[in-house]
Amino acid sequence: MTPIDATLTLAQDAAPHAFGTLTLADALILMSFWKPILVLLPFVGWGWLISTIYDKHAHRFHLGRKQWNMVHLIAGLLAVVVFFAIPMKGEIAFWIALLAMMGVLLVDLIVFPMVANRDDRVPEAHRLRFDLSAMQEARAAKAAAKQAGKAELILTGPGKRKLEVPDTETPEFETRVLAESLYIKGREARASLVEVLPSGKPDGTYGVVYLVDGVRQAGDAFPGPQALSIMDVWKSAAGLDVADRRRKMLADVSVEYAGAKKTVRVLSQGTQGVMRLTLTFDPAESVRRAVDDLGLLDPQIEAVKRIAADGTGVVLASGQTRGGRTTTLYALTRLHDAYTSNVQTLELEIQDAIEGSKQNVFDPQNTEAEFSKTIRSILRRDPDVVAVAEVPDQQTAVEICKADHTRTRIYVSLRQSSALSTLQGWTKAVGDPDLATAGLRGVLAQRLIRRLCANCRVPYQPTPDMLKQLGLPADKVKQLFKKGGQVLIKNKPELCPVCNGGGYIGQEGLFEVYEITDAIRDMIRGGRWNDVKAEFRKSGLPSINQVALRKAVDGVTSVEEIARISQEGAAKAGAGA
Ligand SMILES: [Zn+2]
């Protein structure tokens, strides 16, 4: 300590003798006026972060606010205890005590975001980040870009070719910003895909449609010529022939936006002079789910694994268009080890790579090729597992039935909505009940249902009438849930930050899974479909409707959502008939 410091601190304190046995130097260290401030400052900062940011975060996402406040309180007390537990002997001891105290507070500050960020209830966009200044800067830059209509996306197509941003003040630049808005709005809405297609109005306008959790939401509308230029931006980014407005073409574009890199599959196709563009977000990730995460109930997962372990014969797996068919087909195929066995697929478009397998693509635009001949040549090579994504004609179905069912397992994906209709459809497609049932080992059918947002769903007590109508036991079911969309923060309703007010977030499958026994094969051959139904019931495995109700009781979905998908199913069945 310099003499000047000593004088200053002495002047602050008029009675140095009060410290008794302490030396004058000790007293000076303790009495420095800035030291208590130094001790208080970390507490103020820590307290501010906890009360303004952490507590609100815990409240918003239901992260056990009370428990967390208890943790912070204990951490604060511990910091005080640590500070005073270190004996105050000399200058160095003070600094050690201060550091130890700050260390305790810092650990508390780090632990909360670490735990909270791993919590599924907190969406990625709302994760806590330490770098507050960078976060603010990014937010400011984004707002400024929005105001100025700046190009925000970096679009990289095949061959790492970046799409140049046109000069500002040009019409091309305006088109680019509009093309980017499809992506930005789609991401904000959590869409799985965006479509630009003719609106069907006589004025020749095009509309934008976002598919969010399987539900179509209308977006902006554009005059025809403008819509075509917007589509051309994406086609150029993907390296597709802009002049070709007819042929079906697709390619992937890597999109960098707000620090995140994602894949968009650009598909363009035209019929009768009108073009249609589809942007699929994260095509691979969107179909990548393990069998355990598809939405199957536990006994159904066991049944699927039993069917897979059997390893031979034909297994039918059905769903509706965009109803999770590909996800399920891939999940089933992945149950087999593609390194020790020969696993192949035949698809119209490879959505995701199945490691170790050979994925064959059938190009319908190639007039020389025939689906049935392609599948026949694959089956001739003695594969262990084949996944067939489509059955376009009877010949294909017949080829599948004629395969060696003692050696090969074939998964066949069909467009149906129940296990029974899948079996009926398959028998009809093959055209010969004996042939159709010969190798049949199992059947799966699925529908997709939207999941309630767990952050804002609203519990309610169903009336006895309602339970009776649903066929649920009134003595067991005390509560159900409906969609919310809002949360109360400090007694004020706010749009739910997790689902953006939609009330639903994500989808999962409702399944029917049945093993095909000799008895069922006989019933199918005899066309005794009511017996097949009864046999399904006897298996103890639930129907899609039973699974749906189970999920309503568990709070995964709502009764309204179940009604919506059954109406949709009825409408589709009606249209198909
Ligand atoms: Zn919500």
Which of 164-168, 351-355, 427-431, 573-577 bottoms out in mean pLDDT, i.e. has the lowest?
Answer: 573-577
Whether residue 100 is predicted with pLDDT greater than 60 in this model: the reply is yes
Chain mean pLDDT for the chain: 88
Helices (H) and strands (E) in the chain — how many of each? 21, 18
CATH tag, 291-450+507-576: 3.40.50.300
Cα 216 off chain centre by: 17
Neighbours of 536 (CB within 10 A): 21
Give the CATH class of 152-282.
Answer: alpha beta
Query: 19: CA distance to ligand 1 center in Å?
Result: 61
How many whole angstroms separate alpha carbon 69 and alpha carbon 76? 10
Query: 496: CA distance to ligand 1 center in Å?
Result: 5
Query: 193: CA distance to ligand 1 center in Å?
Result: 21
Query: 509: CA distance to ligand 1 center in Å?
Result: 20
Query: 500: CA distance to ligand 1 center in Å?
Result: 6
Query: 256: CA distance to ligand 1 center in Å?
Result: 27
Query: 116: CA distance to ligand 1 center in Å?
Result: 17
Whether residue 89 is predicted with pLDDT greater than 90 in this model: the reply is no
Nearest residue to 309 via CA among 324, 327, 293, 291: 291
> What are the boundaries of each domain within the chain?
33-117, 152-282, 291-450+507-576
Query: How big is the CA angle at 252 (ends 499 and 280), to the nearest 5 degrees?
Result: 30
The predicted-structure confidence for 113-162, as pLDDT tens digits, reads as follows: 888 887 777 776 677 776 666 666 666 655 655 555 678 899 999 999 99
Instruction: Specify the pLDDT at position 96.
Output: 86
Which of 6-15, 129-138, 165-174, 533-542 bottoms out in mean pLDDT, i.e. has the lowest?
Answer: 6-15
More confident residue, 233 or 90: 233
More confident residue, 30 or 343: 343
More confident residue, 225 or 150: 225
Whether residue 577 is predicted with pLDDT greater than 60 in this model: the reply is no
Asked if 372 and 395 touch (Cβ cutoff 8 Å), the reply is yes
More confident residue, 569 or 443: 443
How many whole angstroms separate alpha carbon 123 and alpha carbon 187? 13
The predicted-structure confidence for 272-305, as pLDDT tens digits, reads as follows: 778 899 999 999 999 999 999 999 999 999 999 9
561, two tokens: 């959502």
Query: 495: CA distance to ligand 1 center in Å?
Result: 8
* Residues in Cβ contact with 19 at an 8 Å cutoff, skipping those fewer than 6 apart: 26, 27, 30
Query: 222: CA distance to ligand 1 center in Å?
Result: 31
Cβ-in-10-Å burial (0-12, 13-18, 19+) of 153 comes to: buried
Query: 344: CA distance to ligand 1 center in Å?
Result: 41
Query: How big is the CA angle at 431 (ends 427 and 432), to the nearest 5 degrees?
Result: 80
Predicted model pTM: 0.75
Query: 61: CA distance to ligand 1 center in Å?
Result: 9
Query: 452: CA distance to ligand 1 center in Å?
Result: 8
Whether residue 251 is predicted with pLDDT greater than 90 in this model: the reply is yes
Average pLDDT over residues 236-254: 93
Query: 63: CA distance to ligand 1 center in Å?
Result: 14
Same fold, 152-282 and 291-450+507-576: no
Query: 498: CA distance to ligand 1 center in Å?
Result: 5
Whether residue 568 is predicted with pLDDT greater than 50 in this model: the reply is yes
Query: 307: CA distance to ligand 1 center in Å?
Result: 37
Nearest residue to 437 via CA among 400, 476, 408: 400
